[in-house]
Chains A and B, each alone.
Chain A
Amino acid sequence: GESVGLHLPTLSVQEGDNSIINCAYSNSASDYFIWYKQESGKGPQFIIDIRSNMDKRQGQRVTVLLNKTVKHLSLQIAATQPGDSAVYFCAERVKAAGNKLTFGGGTRVLVKP
Chain B
Amino acid sequence: KAGVTQTPRYLIKTRGQQVTLSCSPISGHRSVSWYQQTPGQGLQFLFEYFSETQRNKGNFPGRFSGRQFSNSRSEMNVSTLELGDSALYLCASSLSPGTGTGELFFGEGSRLTVL
| A interface residues (Cβ-Cβ under 8 A, vs B) | 4-6, 32, 34, 36, 41-46, 49, 89, 91, 93, 97-106
Chain B residues positioned under 8 Å from A44 (CB to CB): 43, 90, 106
Number of A-B contacts (CB under 8 A): 77
Q: How distant is the Cα of A104 from the Cα of B41 in the complex, in angstroms?
A: 10
Question: B55 → chain A, closest Cβ, in Å?
Answer: 5
Do the beta carbons of A46 and B103 come within 8 Å of each other?
yes
Do the beta carbons of A99 and B43 come within 8 Å of each other?
no
| B interface residues (Cβ-Cβ under 8 A, vs A) | 4, 31, 33, 35, 39-45, 48, 50, 55-56, 58, 90, 92, 94, 97-98, 101-109
Q: How distant is the Cα of A104 from the Cα of B104 in the complex, in angstroms?
A: 16
Chain A residues positioned under 8 Å from B4 (CB to CB): 43
Q: How distant is the Cα of A106 from the Cα of B88 in the complex, in angstroms?
A: 15
Do the beta carbons of A43 and B42 come within 8 Å of each other?
no
Q: Is the interface of A mostly helix, strand, loop or mixed?
A: loop
Q: How distant is the Cα of A96 from the Cα of B106 in the complex, in angstroms?
A: 21
Chain A residues positioned under 8 Å from B102 (CB to CB): 32, 34, 49, 93, 99
From A6, A46, A100, A106, contact of B58 by CB (8 A): A100
